């Protein structure tokens, strides 16, 4: 799966949230200072070329919708990060966050509960 730039990802999050949208509605959701219409339109066309969004004609304009779910993209991005930075080891990745104090004990317990629940379903 292709990676998104920061700007593409920001626009894609809006499309995921709205599910169906046009360029003007995307611009409304972006923080100040608002980018130019042509800038956002170009980003959406790039997302279309990367096969993340599709559109249908509605009147004189286009309504865009996601082709890739947020969950699918998140999974691919996390797997890539885990492979590139933690040698593919989930344990190494979790250890990193625990050691850097980015994860507290209750979060770790929640993860263990989810892992155990998944094991019990298998």
Q: Does residue 48 belong to any structural domain of this protein?
A: yes
What percent of the chain shows pLDDT beyond 90? 66
Determine, yes or no, domain membership for 56: yes
pLDDT digits (tens, 9 = 90+) for 69-110: 999 999 999 899 899 999 998 888 888 877 876 677 788 888
Same domain, 11 and 40: yes
Whether 72 is in a domain gets the answer no
Contact 113, 103 (CB under 8 A): no
Would you say residue 81 lies in a domain? no
Residue of 107 and 34 predicted with greater confidence = 34
Q: What band does 122 get if pLDDT is binned at 50, 70 and 90? A: low
| Gyration radius of the chain over CA positions | 19
Domain count, the chain: 2
Q: What is the pLDDT of residues 49-67, one digit of tens each?
A: 999 999 999 999 999 999 9
* Encoded tokens for 102: 């980015």
List the domain range (segments joined by +) for residue 109. Answer: 86-122
User: Residue 78 falls within a domain, yes or no?
Assistant: no
Same domain, 47 and 94: no
Residue 80 lies in a domain: no
């Amino acid at each position: 799966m292709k990676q998104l730039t920061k700007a593409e990802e920001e626009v894609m999050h809006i499309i995921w949230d709205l599910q169906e949208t046009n360029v003007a509605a995307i611009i409304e959701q972006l923080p100040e200072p608002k980018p130019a219409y042509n800038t956002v339109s170009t980003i959406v066309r790039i997302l279309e070329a990367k096969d993340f969004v599709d559109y249908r004609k509605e009147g004189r304009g286009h309504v865009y919708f996601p082709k890739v779910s947020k969950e699918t993209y998140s999974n691919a991005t996390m797997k890539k990060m885990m492979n590139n930075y933690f040698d593919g080891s989930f344990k190494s990745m979790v250890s990193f966050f625990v050691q850097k104090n980015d994860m507290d004990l209750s979060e770790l317990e929640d993860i263990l509960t989810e892992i155990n629940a998944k094991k019990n379903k298998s």
